[in-house]
Amino acid sequence: MEETRLQRYARTPWRGLALWMLSVPATLVGLWFITVVSMITSFVGVLLFPSATMLLRDRLDAYRDRIGRWTDITVQRPYLPEPAPEPGLNGFFKRFIALVCDPATWRDYLWVVVDPVVAIFTAALPGLLILNGLWGYVLAAFAGDLIGHYGGSDWYAYIPITEGYGRDTGRVVSTLVVATLSIVAGYAIGPKMMTVYGHWGRMLLGPTKKSQLALRVQHLTETRSDAVDTSAAELRRIERDLHDGAQARLVAMGMTLGAIEHLLDKDPQKARLLLAETRASSAKALHELRDLVRGIHPPVLADRGLGDAVKALALDHPMRVEVTGDLPGRASAPVESAAYFAVSEILTNTAKHSGASRVWIDMRHENGMLRITVTDDGHGGATLDGGTGLRGIERRIGTFDGVLALSSPMGGPTIVTLELPCALSSPKISPS
């Protein structure tokens, strides 16, 4: 559920303190990492370096995850692809060299060293201001008088906490004013400071241009491989459907026509019966061919576009499916096809696994992104690795640099969001 503006202002200061507190385990991991680095001239240091690096990366993934969830800034993992695993010492040293030469390894350590100080003046500052204000209320209520009574000396901002503090109305009022301003300021600057911290996190924890290029090449290699595998599987399916369906019927029709040819003079009545059967078989073969073509690229998708094609899917679905959102134009045919079959697969999964009675589909195109959200009122608990086919959908749209996001808490609802970067052309107008 999306946060309201008030909820964001209320929660952000405490999230900032939580991010600051992450520096405690991160610093311990950083100390272990630099200890291993100091032993790197010996084989022990070389042996421990990969595990220490992975531990550091795992610790900093917690920052990336929280920055992504608590701000509007996404911090991608910046690490260069590791070499293919090889057995023996040769493979071990190749991995060691790759980790040492990855700039992100050393930027991670720089983060561990610098972030505790940076966080105090960014993410943690609003929470510290609020705590300072609460301490001011405690001082005004009773603690200030106790400190002065027992001979202590303390200052709250510019206000001295000395003997007789509790009986000095002016100082108590000043304390309350400063405390209130501190709390108000903490809540007011919370989102801004969190955004500043998010940019700091993306700058140091995100990918460099070199790693972005390497990750892009890796992504394209993987998606190209997925696209080739998907295409090969699709061709095998088409071949199998033709062989077992229309092709078999056409062969049978040819044999029947041969028999009819011999029966025309001898038994015209039986020939007429066989002709009727052949006509029925031809109709079935035509129906199977149309189904096959529809499975490759539905005519409604080619003629009317993605919006109408999804609405046609909704009409044929056994559950109540409501489609909202109009697309102002047409995406490219491959993108439309990928989006259509992704929605079709999601609806099939929903019918099989969700226990839902209603489904809502929303389609939008904003900021160069085609966004499709499918929501159901089922029991939830869906995962990308749960055997529901969502991982296959993710690979399918990944060919077009698309992403899939899943939210499915136990008890529901399940929300699947697809985003594909694309431009829309003018809508195609079919001649009447």
pLDDT for the residue numbered 331: 85
Omega cis (within 30) before 413: yes
Of 231, 219, 234, which Cα lies nearest the Cα of 398? Answer: 219
Of 250, 263, 284, 196, which Cα lies nearest the Cα of 19? Answer: 196
Q: How far apart are CA 49 and CA 46, in angstroms?
A: 5
Q: How far apart are CA 373 and CA 417, in angstroms?
A: 4
Angle, vertex CA 151, rays to CA 146 and CA 152, nearest 5? 70
Residues paired with residue 159 on neighbouring β-strands, in sequence order: 156
Helix (H) or strand (E) segment spanning residue 147: helix 144-149
| Percent of the chain scoring above 70 in pLDDT | 83
Q: Which two tokens stand for residue 354?
A: 């969700």
Q: Which residues, in sequence order, are CB contacts of 175 under 8 Å at separation 6+?
A: 136, 139, 140, 144, 156, 159
E strands, 335-402, are: 358-366, 369-376
Q: Does 302 have pLDDT greater than 60?
A: yes
State CA 220 to chain mean position distance: 18
For the segment 82-105, what is each residue's pLDDT rounded down to a tens digit? 777 888 888 888 889 989 988 899
pTM: 0.57
For the segment 10-37, what is each residue's pLDDT rounded down to a tens digit? 999 999 999 999 999 999 999 999 999 9
Q: What is the mean pLDDT of the chain?
A: 83
Residue type, 204: L
Q: Does 72 have pLDDT greater than 50?
A: yes
Q: Does 289 have pLDDT greater than 60?
A: yes
Q: Does 244 have pLDDT greater than 80?
A: no
Q: What is the mean pLDDT of residues 415-421?
A: 90
